[in-house]
Structure 1
């Protein structure tokens, strides 16, 4: 509803209009709330939980790769996960330039081998630094390196071994969720000339940073959205199967326990007698327990108190009626002595 002006405000507006003065309005000091715009043309395919799962998986990958690279390069290296972002493939491919190198890897789980490859991209300075170290150098990179620098045949041969090494370690990071295998395909020295995925296809880009003492760069893993959807579906199926197996095993164990015989000991009381008194006991003697006959009878299982009851008769047989159950371990651990 619009604000209603008072008579004095109306008079002030009319007076300002007659005199030609500029009408000043009070600025709204309230801060506009900022909302994230949602692109309905490119709806998000993966939830935050899925991206957090990927982030956790690649945290394991970065730690594993970090220790192995340190041993391979004989130097200190720090690899960390920078981000996990869902986007269209053309956003990833547009950032590549001629001379970059892509490694193609195919994902296999169970008997299924996906046709759409995952892509591994390592920034050029980082690659040149690792190649230099593997050839006995210090890993120094020229600051004035041409962005369109193309790798020689020898460097590409070394890159193939490095890329295969990076790809093979990817599968180990998924072991907590699924047995996944990344099979190395090939190295593509000019990614602008190939199109392994559709330009509008959804992908998830895992961006990692690698820091050497004298060089740093990025490692990007492009995971096809359709392949990830299939992998997540398989993980959900396996979790459901494991849960069903656990429930079935639990029922089987419980059924076997039903027929297990255990000893229940109904204990009226405990007292202490001297050995000489026990020696002179005869039939008909009475031992004073110093407790009324209506006192609770303790029912023990495995030396621990589980129930309290009351002595009575059932079908002309002596019986104990359960009156209290000890559910917590603190009740079952009550000292038995002195009762």
Structure 2
């Protein structure tokens, strides 16, 4: 008896087929989206900094994002969350090429603990929407986010207030790097029309840091920071030197530490009265009681070897019923080298003590 298929079963089967088809299309689209996440590597412009260095830089700016979020919310009484969006190595033209003539960027000098100034400045660009929102709060405005055009040109009053805002942001960089190196940043000047800046070559390697500023869900603005390669090299060099000092490897302080470890080390000392060469057949026929002539008096000097090098000479005797050697002289460096050249210290040869 044949089974009959109802209309409901047919509809359910068609619906299942449509769901499976949609799922396959979605998986295909997601696979295509995942492929687009990979960035192309330019072999004509090889990377200058390792992934480990960039991870350290990412960690430093994550600390900075937390610090600047707290400061902006406390000073300007806004609800803003700043997070790290991207940290990557690039070229300077990738940073300056995205800016327009009306944009304003902040140049900041970096100073080390010894008050040494970096040769090239750090550059920071803050989108006008974030700046105008903070300016509005400084002047008693409401809690809403202000949206402006990307190529917005600041007025003289806004530019003066903009200088105060970025001064807080630049000084907070010290706290971001505090876990790795002691370095301070100070605002040098605010430059308009960034394309006219000539401090850095267009092809110079830089670190490009992008921060997202979420203003309570009312809008998202961006903070872009450009760290020139020369400044990055100085920062990483300071990190490495401080790490070595923390481990006790500072060149000016390590002599006594090394000597303390050497004083407690143990070395094997071998006493050698003389050496003699025998044929294999003579060694084979040796019996208890046989005498081997060493061509040296029994009270002759004994050489004391440390490792494979002779260091002392002495006389063989006894001490508390044990065989001992009393050191009588120290072999200087020239005598040791002469002994090695004459082949008198070849301890690999068969010998009888």
Q: TM-score, normalised by structure 1?
A: 0.61
Structure 1 stretches of 4+ moved >3 Å: 34-38, 139-143, 245-257
- More deviation, 125-134/247-256: 247-256
SS in 1 for 2:230: helix
Shift of 1:36: 7.0
- Stretches of structure 2 that go unaligned for 5 or more consecutive residues are 1-34, 265-319, 321-353
CA contact (8 A) 2:127 2:222 kept: yes
2:123 to 98, 104, 119: 119
Contact 2:119 2:230 (C-alpha < 8 Å) held by counterparts = no
Q: Secondary structure at the match of 1:136?
A: coil
Residue 196 of structure 2 corresponds to which residue in structure 1? 193
* 1:206 and 2:209 correspond: yes
User: Counterpart in 2 of 1:156?
Assistant: 159
Q: Which residue of 2 aligns with 1:221?
A: 225
TM-score, normalised by the number of residues in structure 2: 0.58
Superposed counterparts of 1:258-297, under 5 Å? none
The answer as to 2:236 corresponding to 1:235 is: no
2:70 aligned with 1:86: no
Judged with a 3 Å threshold, the aligned counterparts in structure 2 of structure 1 residues 249 and 220 are, in CA distance, closer, same or farther, namely farther
**Preserved CA contact (<8 Å) 1:140 1:215:** no
Counterpart CA distance in 2 for 1:202 and 1:48 is 15
SS at structure 2 position matched to 1:195: coil
Deviation at 1:108, TM superposition (A): 1.3
Going from structure 1 to structure 2, the CA distance change for 1:152 and 1:249 (only over 3 Å counts) comes to: farther
Where structure 1 has 5 or more consecutive residues not aligned to the other structure, the ranges are 1-33, 258-314, 316-339
Q: How large is the Cα RMSD of the aligned pairs?
A: 2.7
Q: Which residue is equivalent to 2:54?
A: 51
Deviation per residue, 1:213-267 (Å, 9 max, x gap)? 233201111100111012212221232233225966766887999xxxxxxxxxx
- Report the counterpart of residue 69 of structure 2 in structure 1: 66
Name the CA distance, whole Å, in 1 between partners of 2:121 and 2:107.
Answer: 6
Name the SS for the 1:158 alignment partner: helix
**In structure 2, C-alpha distance between the alignment counterparts of 1:74 and 1:104, rounded to whole Å:** 26
- Compared with structure 1, are the counterparts of its residues 195 and 141 closer, same or farther at alpha carbon in structure 2 (3 Å cutoff)? farther
